[in-house]
Amino acid sequence: MKFIVYGVRKDEEGYAHNWSKENKIDVKLVADLLNKETVKLAKGYDAIIAYQQLPYDKEIFTTMKEYGIKDLSIRNVGVDNIPTDAAKANGVRITNVPSYSPSAIAELAITGLMQLLRRTPEFNEKLAKGDFTWEPDIARELHTMTVGVVGTGRIGRAGINIYKGFGAKVIGYDVFRNPELEAEGMYVDTLDELYAQADVITLHVPAVKENHHMINKDSIAKMKDGVIIINTARGELIESKDLLAGYKSGKIAGAVLDVYENEVGIFNSDFTGKKVPDATLVELMKQRDILVTPHVAFYTETAVRNMVDVALDSAKSMIEKGESRNEVKF
Ligand code: COI
């Protein structure tokens, strides 16, 4: 058995080498992303392991069929960039890593939130000028606030536990309810109720079409004045221009954005000394209390190791047993 792994970063190499040694399976690592050209490197391999944000070309799957490769194991959770029809039509089954580290994502969300509540951007800005005064940047304490968690899957629940630890009131919304949270009476019935009650809104839902731009001028109008919005899920959930307008009007007090709707090709690229090719993103980044990070919530040692190990384990299971608990059923 031999596997080929695409889009490998330096920080993943050691984990892949160790897995290969422990499992006695040849693993070829390539830095190239998977596309209709580079898929040709996969001839003779049994499974493809990949991670990328760019869309996977449809032609990849016809070539995989031609080479008799029936498994694509991705090292991340989101499958929104995979043309699933092409995968299905060519008999390629997909596995993902549904839970590489929910805490990694939840912890980054809370890091940003605490910065905003304790006004660190304001103090950093003042200190840089030599201003050591306190006023007017008085903080808010999280335990006095209501946090609205949209999406109570693994990541949402990791966040809920942290918010509860801080003593905050937590309310949740999800179309698929978790029985334990239901028993605690945590759910509200509609997003409008959540918008009306929450001081902080944190998004943990996938980018399915029903959620596209769910945060927009209409939903923002239903929120409390001074709301803080956190998005560590998918950029497409937020209409960025409306968020910006809501912030500039004072309705939104701040935002924590680890994702952005047009991030592909910008995040994880270096534009030092060059123009960032997205005016809205540049404008968002200029706002003191809009904290932008380049989709790094997942980027922890624990998460990266799990992404590599679990994707390779899943590929092995698909080839050896014809099944994996991480197969994505479309
Ligand atoms: C995912 O797992 O789908 C993510 O969003 C993280 C990715 C950037 C590795």
- pLDDT exceeds cutoff 90 at 31: yes
The CA distances from residue 233 to 34, 150, 208, in Å, are 23, 10, 12
Residue 202 pairs in a beta bridge with: 149, 230
Alpha carbon distance 168, 190 (integer Å): 20
- The domains of the chain, with CATH numbers, are 2-100+301-321 (3.40.50.720), 102-292 (3.40.50.720)
Structure tokens at 81: 């960039």
Q: Where are the beta strands (DSSP E) in 258-320?
A: 290-292
Cβ 195 under 6 angstroms from ligand 1: no
Written as one string, the DSSP assignment of 134-177 is -TT-----GGGSEEEEE--SHHHHHHHHHHHHHT-EEEEE-SS-
Write the residue with the smallest CA distance to atom 3 of ligand 1: 78
Average pLDDT rounded to a whole number, residues 2-16: 98
Between the CA of 71 and the centroid of ligand 1 the distance, in Å, is 20
Cβ 56 under 6 angstroms from ligand 1: no
The tens digit of pLDDT for each residue in 274-327 reads 999 999 999 999 999 999 999 999 999 999 999 999 999 999 999 999 999 999
Average pLDDT rounded to a whole number, residues 58-80: 97
φ and ψ at residue 254, rounded to 5 degrees: -175, 170
Sorting pLDDT into bands at 50, 70 and 90, what band is 140? very high
Between the CA of 96 and the centroid of ligand 1 the distance, in Å, is 10
- pLDDT exceeds cutoff 90 at 33: yes
Cβ 78 under 6 angstroms from ligand 1: yes
Q: What pLDDT shows up at residue 48?
A: 98
Alpha carbon distance 203, 148 (integer Å): 9
Q: Which atom of ligand 1 is nearest to the CA of 51?
A: 9
The tens digit of pLDDT for each residue in 220-258 reads 999 999 999 999 999 999 999 999 999 999 999 999 999
Q: 253 in helix, strand or coil?
A: strand
- pLDDT exceeds cutoff 90 at 330: no
Residue 74 pairs in a beta bridge with: 50
Average pLDDT rounded to a whole number, residues 39-43: 98
Q: What pLDDT shows up at residue 298?
A: 97
Alpha carbon distance 74, 4 (integer Å): 12
Cβ 305 under 6 angstroms from ligand 1: no
Q: What pLDDT shows up at residue 192?
A: 98
Residues 6+ away with beta carbon under 8 Å from 185: none
- pLDDT exceeds cutoff 90 at 141: yes
Structure tokens at 171: 């309310």
Cβ 298 under 6 angstroms from ligand 1: yes
Catalytic annotation, residues: 234, 263, 295
Directed axis angle between helix 102-117 and helix 154-166, to 10°? 40
Task: Tell me the average pLDDT of the chain.
Answer: 98
Q: What pLDDT shows up at residue 233?
A: 97
Structure tokens at 45: 């391999």
Average pLDDT rounded to a whole number, residues 143-167: 98
179: left (phi over 0), alpha (psi -120 to 50) or beta: alpha
Average pLDDT rounded to a whole number, residues 205-212: 95
Among 6, 295, 302, name the best residue to mutate to test ligand 1's pocket (greatest count of ligand atoms within 8 A of Cβ).
Answer: 295
Q: Which atom of ligand 1 is nearest to the CA of 53?
A: 8
Between the CA of 308 and the centroid of ligand 1 the distance, in Å, is 13
Average pLDDT rounded to a whole number, residues 168-197: 98
Q: Where are the beta strands (DSSP E) in the chain?
A: 2-5, 26-29, 47-50, 71-74, 93-95, 146-150, 169-173, 200-203, 227-231, 252-257, 290-292
Q: Give first-to-last CA distance, the chain, whole Å.
A: 27
Structure tokens at 304: 């990266």
Cβ 165 under 6 angstroms from ligand 1: no
Cβ–Cβ under 8 Å, residues 311 and 75:
yes
Write the residue with the smallest CA distance to atom 7 of ligand 1: 76
Q: Which residue is it, tokens 């060059």?
A: 274
Cβ 60 under 6 angstroms from ligand 1: no
Cis upstream peptide for 136 (omega within 30°): yes
Q: What pLDDT shows up at residue 4?
A: 98
Write the residue with the smallest CA distance to atom 5 of ligand 1: 78
Cβ–Cβ under 8 Å, residues 291 and 115:
yes
Share of the chain above pLDDT 90, in %: 99
Instruction: Single out the residue of 286, 232, 283, 281 nearest to residue 256, CA to CA.
Output: 232
